[in-house]
Structure formats: structure tokens, C-alpha cells
Amino acid sequence: MAEETITIADARDLGKVVIVGAGAAGTRFAQALRRGGYDGEVVLVGDERGLPYHRPLLSKEVLSSAKEMDDIRLCSAEDLAEQQIEFVRGTHAVGLDLAGKQVLIEEGESISYDTLIIATGVRPRLVGTAITGGRTHTLHTALECYGLRAALVGAQRVAVIGGGFIGSEIAATVRELGRDVELISSTRHPLERVMGTWAGQHVARVHEANGVQLRMSTRVTDVSATSDGVRVNLADGGTVEADIAIIGIGSSPATQWLENSGLDIHDGVVVDSDGRTQDESIWAIGDIARRRAEDGSTLRVEHWTSATEQADALARLLLGKPPVTIPKLDYLWTDMYGFKIQMFGHIPAGAQEHVLLEEEGKFIVAYTVDGRLCAVVGRGVAGRFMRFRTAVAAGHPVDELIPVAA
């Protein structure tokens, strides 16, 4: 796979930099710009009320109440003040005026910019007519997490819809809280779509061993209210009755505020490999950015490491600093039942599977296409996992991993 290449530009005259979206990418970018020596005006605008935080922990330690928001902050108010980053919180962007260089916010107000960074991430998708709140929940923000925690107090039967990362993690956390959990997914195994069949089967066994009831290969058509809970209606005619339902079926880019702006919006903000939109003063990073590769294909990634790496790379580019050359490779992880599964790369259809290690509580599975590595997935091997990065990024033969895996 190709090394990341970033054209070194002269330090740009950025003027007033406005970042919309105070999540992983937006916050990291603001701080990287300051750390890189930028001394102009930097404004970070976000619609959540609290300080930026480590979102992945919502479905893990915060949902289980092992941690509270103060434990997972990305920075304090003092840090932001010290770095002279103006933090405009609880403010939702509703539109963008490209010609006037204004971010439109509620109540007819606006924030002017010279350079705009779009980092508004994604929002959870819903099922059919289901609405959040009450007995049907999604989990993306701190507010939603605390709403779900409150709902769990009086709930014993919990239906979790969606067998991806978020659904699987929620099912594990809620089960560990002692609730009866039914996990419903259209895939054959949880996590299968991203982490492959082997890891998917492994996670299915772990869920079942922990008492989660699995309903796989079935699509949810709707969630309706009953007198004392919810009924999840399935495409195969079946139903699941529960006290509450939690929907984790994936997300859509938070681009509503950019509709009609004139930017290229296609399942995300379409940008080049550096994050550049067609407007020279506007860039997009993080989950919302659909990056165009040299071969014309586009890719949007919804993972923490990718969001923060994009933020760091863009800050360096805009400051005219040489790029840090890192292999361009997706890294992701998931935590459940006290263990971590990690992954480098991605698994295309038809990739060949190689089980390199299978022990109690540990595995390493590699994937190849035409004999060259494209992905590695591992559990319980965090100490050596990072050593696989170069081999996967370079597409080495799988044999090279055997001494590291053993």
C-alpha cells in the first residue's frame, strides 16, 4: 500500500480559523494548530454542552458507570483558555454562506471565518419510524449516554439492534450490568462486516457464553411502543419484546447544515486526500470527510485514530510543516468483556484468511489478497500488535508475520 503523501505548502495565511464540530478531529486540529505555532484567531464551535471528550468510552466505561464525563475529557477549559482557543459550546451550525464566509448558527446569528474546518462527524441512523428518547435510544453523545443510563435503571429486557462495533459493545456492557440482552443483526455474526468472519464467530461465541441472546441474519423493520415497553418487528415476521431498545445500526454524516451550501456532499463532504474541498478556504476532517484517492475512489472512515491522524496531518499541511510519513492504513479497535480486539487494514471480499494464533483468550488472523497482506485482526496481543502495521501497510507476504505471531 502507498505511503501517505502530502504536498508541502508554504505556511498559509489562515486568518481567523473556525472549526465546526468539537469532537476528536475538531478539537485535535485546534490544539495541533496552536502547538504548531499558529498565533491567529482560533474558534472551536460545537453543539454539545460539555467539554470535548473521548467518545469511544461512551459505550464502554461511561455506559457501565465505571467512568464519568470528567474522567474522559480531551482537555480542560483551562487548557483551551491557555491555548487561546475560543470554545463556543452548545451552538449548532444550521447553514453555511460560502460567498460571505459565514457559518450560520441558530437564531439568525453567524460566525465569520477566513479558514473553515468542517468536523461535524456523524449521527446515528434510526430504524423505520423509531424515534429516540423514551424507550428507544441511540448512543452517540454524552447526553444520549446519560439518558440511556437512566433508562436502564428501570429496564430488565433490552433489545440491541445492530451487530457492528457500537451494538456489540453496548450489548456486552448492558449484559455485564445484569440485564437480559437480545442482540439483533442483519449480519451472520457480530462485527463480521468489518473484522471478518473469523473474529465475528469468535465474538458471537463470547456473547453467547456471557448470556447475550443472538438473533442474527435478520433485519429490523420497525420499533413500536407497547403498553409497557417496545416491540421490535423483524422482516422475517418475528418480534422481540423488550423494556427498551437501543439502536446501533450505523450512522449518517452530519451534513444537514451544509445542504444547499454548494459544497460537494455525497455521503459526507467530498475532499481530496488532504481534506481540501472545492472551496480553497474550507477543509473537512474526521468521520464526515469522504476522501478521494488518486485512483478516483472515495473512502469515508468512522474511527478515532483516523480522525485524529487526519487532524494532525491537516494542521501540519496548513502550517507548511513537512508531513509525518506514516503508512496510510486504517487502525481500529473494540473493547468488550474486558478484552480488546484490534485491526489494521481492511478485508475486501474474497480475501484469504490465515489463522496465525489461536489460544485461550488470544488470536491473530491475517487476510491476504494475491498472497499479500491486507489486514490483521488480533485479540489479547496488544503488546505486539503495532508491529504488524508496517507489514500490512507494505502488503508483505503473510509468512513474515509468523515469527511475530508465534
Binding residues vs ligand FAD (CB under 6 A): 20-26, 45-48, 55-56, 58-59, 92-93, 119-121, 139-141, 165-166, 254, 257, 286-288, 302-305, 307, 332-334
Q: Which residue, 137, 125, 268, 254, is CA-closest to 186?
A: 125
What is the torsional sign of CA 310, 9, 254, 233? negative
| 122 versus 398: smaller Cβ distance to ligand FAD | 122
| 98 versus 234: smaller Cβ distance to ligand FAD | 98
CB of 341 to ligand FAD, least distance (A): 10
CB of 149 to ligand FAD, least distance (A): 13
Answer for the pair 93, 104: CB distance below 8 angstroms, yes or no: yes
| 137 versus 303: smaller Cβ distance to ligand FAD | 303
CB of 303 to ligand FAD, least distance (A): 4
What number of CA atoms fall less than 13 Å from residue 381's CA on the CB side?
23
| 29 versus 398: smaller Cβ distance to ligand FAD | 29
What number of CA atoms fall less than 13 Å from residue 365's CA on the CB side?
19
Q: Which residues are paired to 233 by β-bridges?
A: 222, 239
CB of 340 to ligand FAD, least distance (A): 9
**CB closest to ligand FAD, residue no:** 23
| 48 versus 274: smaller Cβ distance to ligand FAD | 48
Answer for the pair 372, 383: CB distance below 8 angstroms, yes or no: no
Output the CA–CA distances (angstroms, integers) from residue 5 to 294, 328, 374, in the order listed.
Answer: 11, 9, 20
| 59 versus 187: smaller Cβ distance to ligand FAD | 59
CB of 258 to ligand FAD, least distance (A): 9
CB of 129 to ligand FAD, least distance (A): 22
CA angle 248, 254, 260 (to 5 degrees): 145
| 218 versus 256: smaller Cβ distance to ligand FAD | 256
C-alpha cell at 101: 464566509
C-beta pairs of 78-82 under 8 Å, 24+ apart in sequence: 79/31, 80/44, 80/51
| 136 versus 141: smaller Cβ distance to ligand FAD | 141
CB of 12 to ligand FAD, least distance (A): 22
CB of 56 to ligand FAD, least distance (A): 3
CA angle 111, 113, 117 (to 5 degrees): 105
Burial 145-177 (b: 16+ CB within 10 A, else e): bebbeebbeebebbbbbbbbbbbbbbbbbbbbb
Alpha carbons 189 and 168: distance in angstroms, whole number? 10
